[in-house]
Structure 1
């Protein structure tokens, strides 16, 4: 996010909507974190899971959906500087 205030606004006003819309795309939210950073950009990390083979494709489908647009209504999308998918493998 552009800054900590943008991250807080996103988390307080829009994230809960994702909790309802993401499962429709077979994406389950495990945890959400906001970077502890008072200077400059502030990242939001969402740990998600799915039973599908391609989380990247599911995420892309979701972010291009009307559900995502509805969730984000009223948020200045220019405050999102970057969205990055990182695939993790659980070992323990």
Structure 2
């Protein structure tokens, strides 16, 4: 399973809140159709502007980028983003991550 941390930089706190609470909420259901599972979505609470939204997603295959590109070209994505100013997204970073299992002897 591939796990990815996605970091979205939004132009304002308001845009970040709207993106996370409205549009990412829509993404959760739509992404399932493309084999992508959303595990967590967070909004930065430091008060900084621009503000970031963090999402942790996973995919059972080996080509998460391809599946994500299919989703972003779909009618599902367009519907999910309806009413959102795409220019409010100033940047997107995608980082593949993996879980670490600690032995009790190590601690």
**Normalization by structure 2: what TM-score?**
0.79
Q: Which has the higher strand share?
A: 2
- Where structure 1 has 5 or more consecutive residues not aligned to the other structure, the ranges are none
Query: Contact conserved, 2:27 with 2:77, CA < 8 A, in 1?
Result: yes
**Bigger shift: 58-67 or 69-78?**
58-67
Query: CA separation in 1, counterparts of 2:38 and 2:86?
Result: 21
What is the Cα-based RMSD across aligned positions, in Å?
A: 1.2
| 2:91 is the counterpart of 1:82 | yes
Query: CA separation in 2, counterparts of 1:75 and 1:16?
Result: 13
Q: 1:24 aligns with which of 33, 36, 61?
A: 33
Query: Contact conserved, 2:23 with 2:81, CA < 8 A, in 1?
Result: yes
How far off its partner does 1:90 sit? Answer: 2.0
Bigger Rg over Cα: 2
Q: State the aligned residue count.
A: 92
Q: Compare relative contact order (CA 8 Å, sep 6+) and give the higher one, 1 or 2.
A: 2
- Where structure 2 has 5 or more consecutive residues not aligned to the other structure, the ranges are 1-9, 102-107
**Secondary structure of the equivalent of 2:33?**
helix
Query: CA separation in 1, counterparts of 2:82 and 2:66?
Result: 23
Query: Contact conserved, 1:4 with 1:37, CA < 8 A, in 2?
Result: no
For residues 15-54 of structure 1, the aligned pairs below 5 Å read 15-54=24-63
